Amino acid sequence: MKLSDLKVIITGGAQGMGAHFARRIAEAGGQVAIGDVNEKGLAETAEAGGGRIHARKLDVASETECESFVAWAAGAMGGLNALVNNAGILRDGLLVKKDKETGQIKKLSRADWQAVIDVNLTGATWIVRETVGKMVELGSRPGVVVNMSSVARHGNRGQSNYSAAKAALAANTVTWSREFAPFGIRTGAIAPGMIETPMTQGMNPKARDALVAAIPVGRIGVPEDIWVAVKFVIECDYFNGRTIDVDGGLSM
Q: Which residues are catalytic?
A: 162
Beta strands 96-98 and 105-107: pairing type? Answer: antiparallel
Q: How far is CA 224 from CA 20, 129, 162, 170, 236, in A?
A: 7, 28, 23, 21, 18
Spell out the long-range contacts of 68-76 with Cβ–Cβ below 8 A and sequence spacing 24 or more.
Answer: 69/9, 69/33, 69/35, 69/127, 69/130, 70/9, 70/127, 70/130, 70/131, 70/133, 70/134, 71/134, 72/33, 73/9, 73/33, 73/35, 74/7, 74/134, 74/138, 76/33
CA 59 – CA 61 distance, rounded (Å): 5
Expressed in angstroms, the distance from the first to the final Cα of the chain is: 33
